[in-house]
């Protein structure tokens, strides 16, 4: 008897997450064939020898005996209180542990924050380029992504006037990814204040993805959005994955500030969704207080001479040596987002280039179009390899660009 294929949820037809898509699958096939792949498609510090601070591991070990039962749906109190204290240190005083939800990574927090908010056709303003989990989560929760452009010629910074022009009666929220993934842009106070005013005027929830908040270079200053949003709700997302090099712990959080009085129903819905998954990973939560209250080793890594800083410099040097590449220097995060000059290579296509680079030179990158941009001449690489490996990568990039130009 012939069997019909199992039907999938039709909402998935418009969902993409190509950082772990077809190119990543092909890279795995090549690895099984014995090829050594340099994987620069995802920000995963542990794969490149970065270690989680020892004190965080010890905090988990010391508290394993207290980690066998479910905890409160919002998370353990010491972890939530540590997030509160971090907010207070940054000037956001009216936040309590009741306003903080722990999640299995920021990814889960994003999902339940959007799921509690959106009805079919509701719009969310997203940056282009964005981290594609945001677009996917909006679509999966029946919303409509509406993109505001962060153009290369503007240093990948948003234009508040464009954001204002995109607000409609269906707009429910605006998302800011700052420091930005994939571009490394760090937004200035004036731009953020203007966006906060727009959100206040139109009662939009501000979703501030600040997972890279301390990963800054050459004196760049991060301004927490929660310090600027007062008359509407602000949701600030943070976690252990990047600053503390603990991706596998799967610990993230969202802290709500601003006008919570008029958000009571929404926050109740968030708590309901948090309750349905019972709780977040308990052992990992014990590392939060130690992480946020202890020595911030990320500052050594991002200072001149530090590994992340030197790798960033190596990427910038590789771009500078190239006749085909250009790039705005990353001010934060752990990525470079080079562009290919269309004057030199008018037929360049980021996906075709990424596939050629993988097949011929065994380097895996993320095409720029994976980040919901209208152009096809950018790609993202991480700053996680050491300087020598980055130099090797750029030699291979140039070889493929020369092949495409021939």
202-213 residue pLDDT tens: 999 999 999 999
Question: In the chain, which segments carry CATH 3.90.1150.10?
Answer: 14-43+304-405
Q: What is the pLDDT of residue 177?
A: 98
79-111 residue pLDDT tens: 999 999 999 999 999 899 999 999 999 999 999
Reported as a pLDDT band with limits 50, 70 and 90, residue 180 is very high
Reported as a pLDDT band with limits 50, 70 and 90, residue 44 is very high
What share of the chain has pLDDT > 70, as a percent? 100
Residue positions counted in the chain: 406
Q: What is the mean pLDDT of the chain?
A: 95
Q: What is the pLDDT of residue 9?
A: 85
Contact at 8 Å (CB) between 181 and 333?
A: yes
Q: What is the pLDDT of residue 319?
A: 97
Instruction: Please check the confidence at residue 16 and state whether its pLDDT lies above 80.
Output: no
**Averaged pLDDT, 309-315:** 97
Question: In the chain, which segments carry CATH 3.40.640.10?
Answer: 54-293
Q: Which CATH topology does 54-293 take? A: 3.40.640
- CATH architecture designation of domain 14-43+304-405: Alpha-Beta Complex (3.90)
**Averaged pLDDT, 7-22:** 82
DSSP string, 281-335: -HHHHHHHHHHHHS--THHHHHSTTSHHHHHHHHHHHHHHH-SSEE-PPP-BTTE
DSSP strand pairing (233-239 vs 205-209): parallel
Beta bridge partners of 258: 233
DSSP string, 63-99: TGGG-SS---TT--HHHHHHHHHHHHHTT--S--GGG
Report which of 374, 328, 359, 292 is spatially closest to residue 183, judged by C-alpha positions.
328
Phi and psi for 84 in degrees, rounded to 5?
-60, -45
Neighbours of 17 (CB within 10 A): 13
Q: What is the pLDDT of residue 212?
A: 97
Dist. CA 217–CA 347, nearest whole Å: 34
pTM, two decimals, is 0.94
Instruction: Please check the confidence at residue 5 and state whether its pLDDT lies above 90.
Output: no
What are the C-alpha distances in Å from 256 to residues 238, 259, 267, 283? 12, 9, 9, 23
Q: How far apart are the first and last CA of the chain?
A: 53
Cα angle 311-250-97, degrees, rounded to a multiple of 5: 110
Instruction: Please check the confidence at residue 117 and state whether its pLDDT lies above 90.
Output: yes
Dist. CA 129–CA 134, nearest whole Å: 11
Q: What is the pLDDT of residue 124?
A: 98
Instruction: Please check the confidence at residue 237 and state whether its pLDDT lies above 90.
Output: yes
Q: What is the pLDDT of residue 404?
A: 87
In sign, the C-alpha dihedral spanning 208, 209, 211, 217 is negative
Instruction: Please check the confidence at residue 337 and state whether its pLDDT lies above 80.
Output: yes
């Amino acid at each position: 008897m012939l069997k019909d294929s199992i039907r999938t949820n039709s909402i998935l037809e418009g969902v993409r997450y190509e950082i772990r898509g077809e190119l990543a699958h092909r890279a795995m096939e090549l690895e099984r064939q014995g090829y050594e792949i340099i994987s620069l498609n995802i920000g995963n510090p542990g794969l490149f020898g970065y270690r989680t601070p020892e004190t965080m591991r010890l905090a988990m070990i010391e508290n394993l005996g207290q980690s066998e039962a479910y905890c409160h749906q919002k998370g353990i109190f010491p972890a939530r209180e540590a997030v509160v204290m971090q907010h207070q240190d940054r000037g956001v005083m009216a936040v309590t542990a009741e306003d903080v939800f722990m999640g299995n990574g920021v990814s889960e927090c994003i999902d339940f924050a959007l799921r509690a908010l959106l009805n079919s056709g509701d719009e969310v303003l997203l940056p282009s380029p964005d981290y594609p989990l945001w677009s996917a989560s909006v679509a999966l929760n029946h919303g409509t992504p509406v993109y505001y452009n962060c153009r290369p010629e503007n240093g990948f910074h948003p234009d508040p006037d464009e954001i204002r022009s995109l607000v409609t009666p269906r707009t429910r929220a605006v998302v800011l990814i700052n420091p930005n993934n994939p571009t490394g842009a760090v937004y200035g106070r004036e731009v953020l204040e203007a966006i906060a005013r727009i959100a206040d005027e139109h009662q939009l929830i501000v979703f501030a993805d600040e997972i890279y908040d301390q990963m800054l270079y050459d004196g760049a200053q991060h301004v927490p959005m929660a310090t600027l949003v007062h008359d509407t709700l602000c949701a600030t997302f943070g976690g252990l994955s990047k600053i503390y090099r603990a991706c596998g712990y799967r610990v993230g959080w969202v802290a709500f500030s601003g006008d919570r009085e008029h958000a009571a129903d929404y926050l109740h819905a968030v708590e309901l969704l948090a309750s349905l998954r019972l709780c977040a990973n308990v052992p990992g939560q014990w590392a939060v207080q130690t992480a946020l209250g202890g020595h911030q080793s990320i500052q050594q890594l991002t200072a001149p001479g530090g590994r992340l800083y030197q790798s960033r410099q190596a990427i910038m040097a590789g771009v500078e040596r190239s006749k085909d590449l250009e790039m705005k220097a990353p001010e934060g995060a752990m990525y470079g987002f080079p562009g290919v000059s269309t004057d030199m290579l008018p037929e360049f296509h980021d996906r075709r280039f990424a596939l050629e680079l993988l097949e011929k030179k065994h380097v895996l990158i993320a095409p720029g179009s994976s980040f919901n941009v209208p152009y096809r001449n950018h790609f993202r690489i991480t700053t996680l390899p050491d300087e020598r490996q980055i130099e090797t990568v750029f030699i291979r990039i140039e070889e493929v660009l020369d092949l495409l130009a021939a």
